[in-house]
Amino acid sequence: MNPVLLPIVLSCLLLALLTTFWLLWPLRGKTTDSGQSVRALGARVYRERLQELNADHMTSRIDADTYAALKLELDRGLLADSEGVTAVTASTRPLRGLALALLVLLPALSLGLYFGHFLNAGVARDLQNQVELKPTLDRLLAGQAPAADSDRHSLPDFMRALQRRVQQEPANADAWMTLGMGFLQAQDMGPAKVALARAAELRPDDTQIVLTYAQASIMSQQGPMEPAVRSQLARILHDQPDHQGALLMLGVGSLRAGDRATALTALEHLQSLRTAHPGTQPDDSAADQRIAQLLADARRDPAEQAAGMRVDIEVALAPELARAIPADATLFVFARALQGPPMPVAAIRRPAGQFPMRLTLTDADSLSPQRLLSQQDAIVVSAKISRSGSATPAAGDWEAIAVPVEKGSQGLVRLRISQVRS
Q: What is the pLDDT along the chain (422 residues), one digit of tens a residue?
A: 555 556 666 776 677 677 766 666 655 554 444 445 656 766 777 777 778 877 777 877 777 778 777 777 777 776 766 655 555 554 445 556 666 676 677 767 766 666 655 555 556 666 777 777 888 788 878 777 766 666 677 777 778 888 888 888 899 999 999 888 888 777 677 788 889 999 999 999 999 999 999 888 887 765 567 888 889 999 999 999 999 999 999 988 888 777 888 989 999 999 999 888 776 555 567 778 878 878 887 887 665 555 456 888 999 998 888 888 888 899 999 999 988 788 899 999 998 877 888 888 888 788 887 788 888 889 999 999 998 888 888 888 999 999 999 887 778 899 999 999 88
- How far is it, in rounded angstroms, from Cα 272 to Cα 252? 17
Contact 376, 409 (CB under 8 A): no
Contact 401, 383 (CB under 8 A): no
Distances (CA, A) of 281 to 5, 15, 364: 50, 63, 28
Q: Are residues 286 and 338 in the same domain?
A: no
Element (H, E) at 16: helix 6-24
Q: Are residues 260 and 326 in the same domain?
A: no
Burial of 13 (0-12, 13-18, 19+ CB in 10 A): middle
Q: Are residues 185 and 294 in the same domain?
A: yes
Domain annotation covers residue 152: no
- How far is it, in rounded angstroms, from Cα 162 to Cα 186? 14
Domain annotation covers residue 132: no
- Residue 96's nearest CA partner among 27, 31, 16 is 27
Domain annotation covers residue 138: no
Q: Are residues 328 and 247 in the same domain?
A: no
Contact 380, 404 (CB under 8 A): yes
- How far is it, in rounded angstroms, from Cα 308 to Cα 304? 7
Domain annotation covers residue 107: yes
Q: How far apart are the first and last CA of the chain?
A: 31
Q: Name residue 293's amino acid.
A: Q
pTM of the model: 0.50
Q: Are residues 279 and 314 in the same domain?
A: no
pLDDT of residue 277: 77
Burial of 38 (0-12, 13-18, 19+ CB in 10 A): middle
Q: Are residues 55 and 173 in the same domain?
A: no
Domain annotation covers residue 147: no
> Of the candidates 304, 321, 344, which is a domain's last residue?
304
> Of the candidates 304, 325, 347, which is a domain's last residue?
304
3-state class (DSSP) for residue 332: strand
398-400 and 378-386 strand pairing: antiparallel
Q: Are residues 362 and 388 in the same domain?
A: yes
The Cα angle at residue 213 between residues 211 and 219, in degrees rounded to 5: 100
Q: DSSP alpha helices (H): ranges in 300-404?
A: 302-307
Q: Are residues 322 and 379 in the same domain?
A: yes
pLDDT of residue 185: 74
**Number of alpha carbons in the 13 Å side-chain half-sphere of residue 183:** 28
Distances (CA, A) of 28 to 17, 32, 83, 100, 103: 16, 12, 21, 10, 12
For 76-138, the DSSP string reads HHHHHHHHHHHHHHHHHHHHHHHHHHHHHHHHHHHHHHIIIII--HHHHHHHHHHHHHHHHHH
Domain annotation covers residue 106: yes
Q: Are residues 41 and 55 in the same domain?
A: yes
Contact 246, 237 (CB under 8 A): yes
Question: 249: which residues sit within 8 A by CB, 6+ positions away?
Answer: 211, 214, 215, 218, 233
Q: Give the CATH number of the domain where residue 276 resides.
A: 1.25.40.10
pLDDT of residue 178: 87
**Residue 74 DSSP code:** H
Contact 385, 417 (CB under 8 A): yes
3-state class (DSSP) for residue 366: strand
Domain annotation covers residue 275: yes
Domain annotation covers residue 222: yes
pLDDT of residue 32: 47
> Of the candidates 87, 119, 151, which is a domain's last residue?
119
Q: Are residues 331 and 285 in the same domain?
A: no
Q: Are residues 165 and 298 in the same domain?
A: yes
- Residue 383's nearest CA partner among 333, 328, 329 is 333
Name the β-bridge partners of 416.
316
Report how many domains make up the chain: 3
330-337 and 346-351 strand pairing: antiparallel
Cα 347 to chain centroid distance, Å, stands at 25
Q: Are residues 298 and 318 in the same domain?
A: no
Range of the domain at 24: 6-119
- How far is it, in rounded angstroms, from Cα 388 to Cα 395? 11
Rg (CA), the chain: 40
pLDDT of residue 187: 64
Q: Name residue 306's amino acid.
A: A
